[in-house]
Amino acid sequence: MIPCPVCRVENDEFATTCRSCKAFLQNRVVNLDLFETAWKILEAPKKTFQRIAIAEHKNYSLALFSMFGISLSFTLFWYLRLGDRFDTLLDLVPTALGAGLVLGLLSSVVLSGLYHGFAKLLGGKTSFRNSFAILAYAATPVVLSLFLVLPIELLTFGMYLFTWNPHPYTIKPVSYVALIGFDGIMALWSVLLATLGTVVGHHVDIIKAIVIVLLTVGMYGFLLLAAAQQVLAIL
Ligand SMILES: [Zn+2]
């Protein structure tokens, strides 16, 4: 809550003017700049989630979800060893990209829907638009790893990354552990950011935020794997 400096009325933390006397409370944020916001979410996450919550337009949220979907798609291709279904990387990569865009759109609806639902159940207080933007920007580390690490993984292991035949670990153990480890750390970082974003955006304590995020990740992971098995059984 922000008390008004003029009339002392308590205002919502994301209000820019007092609801009673219209006095100035904090700077308006109209638009979010992608690179500035993505950088600041890594550097000063708490302040940046506050800024995202205040922003009138939650710019680039859908773009971030799309890139998150592409990252998720390649992870599924790796985890489910889908390389056997393709002749070369030139067939696999466009398919994974296409599936990733679909997965990104799906995630933007299902993942943020689950998240918003769990948050509301546990006393979360922000709008769906803010839930959506919190998750989108929390995905920044995963998106970074898509651009930084995936190209190196593709160049280092080629199809073996997706066939496990032989397992990429046996080809270059150190590179494999380092690259997959880096991906894992970035995913964990995104989970931590989502938790922090939940504390800031939904005004819940850290324990509730952890429960909300873990329920969301667990449920979405379960649904995603179940759906992927169904789709693969049909194809
Ligand atoms: Zn006032």
pLDDT tens digits, residue range 138-169?
999 999 999 999 999 999 999 999 999 999 99
Ligand 1: centre distance to CA 2 (Å): 10
pLDDT tens digits, residue range 172-205?
999 999 999 999 999 999 999 999 999 999 999 9
pLDDT given for residue 23 in this prediction: 93
Say if residue 166 is preceded by a cis peptide, omega within 30 of 0: yes
Using pLDDT thresholds of 50, 70 and 90, give the confidence band for residue 116: very high
pLDDT given for residue 63 in this prediction: 96
Ligand 1: centre distance to CA 53 (Å): 21
Ligand 1: centre distance to CA 14 (Å): 15
Ligand 1: centre distance to CA 137 (Å): 32
Ligand 1: centre distance to CA 11 (Å): 8
For the chain, give the percent of residues with pLDDT over 90.
92
Ligand 1: centre distance to CA 3 (Å): 8
Ligand 1: centre distance to CA 16 (Å): 11
**Kind and range of the H or E run holding 2:** strand 2-3
Element counts in the chain: helices (H) and strands (E): 11, 2
Indicate the burial class of 229 (C-beta count within 10 angstroms; 0-12, 13-18, 19 or more). Answer: exposed
2 φ, ψ (degrees, to nearest 5): -115, 120
Using pLDDT thresholds of 50, 70 and 90, give the confidence band for residue 1: confident
Ligand 1: centre distance to CA 9 (Å): 6
- Ion ligand 1: residue ranges with CB closer than 5 A: 4, 6-7, 9, 18, 20-21, 23
Q: How far apart are alpha carbons 195 and 173 in whole angstroms?
A: 33
Query: Three-state SS for 193?
Result: helix
Ligand 1: centre distance to CA 13 (Å): 14
Ligand 1: centre distance to CA 7 (Å): 4
Q: How far apart are alpha carbons 213 and 82 in whole angstroms?
A: 28
Ligand 1: centre distance to CA 4 (Å): 5
Using pLDDT thresholds of 50, 70 and 90, give the confidence band for residue 2: confident
pLDDT given for residue 99 in this prediction: 96
Q: How far apart are alpha carbons 101 and 230 in whole angstroms?
A: 19
Q: How far apart are alpha carbons 68 and 141 in whole angstroms?
A: 10
Closest CA to 153 of 77, 63, 87, 80: 77
CA 86 to chain centre: 28
Does 77 score more than 90 pLDDT?
yes
Give the tokens for residue 152. 């190196």
CA 35 to chain centre: 15
> What DSSP letter does each residue of 30-96 carry, written as one string?
----HHHHHHHHHHSHHHHHHHHHH-SS-TTHHHHHHHHHHHHHHHHHHHTTGGGG-SSHHHHHHHH
Query: Three-state SS for 181?
Result: helix
Question: What does the mean pLDDT of the chain come to?
Answer: 95
Does 28 score more than 90 pLDDT?
no
Ligand 1: centre distance to CA 31 (Å): 25
Ligand 1: centre distance to CA 207 (Å): 33
Ligand 1: centre distance to CA 37 (Å): 30
Does 15 score more than 90 pLDDT?
no
pLDDT given for residue 14 in this prediction: 85
| Close Cβ partners of 91 (under 8 Å, ≥ 6 residues apart) | none
For the chain, give the percent of residues with pLDDT over 70.
100
Using pLDDT thresholds of 50, 70 and 90, give the confidence band for residue 235: confident
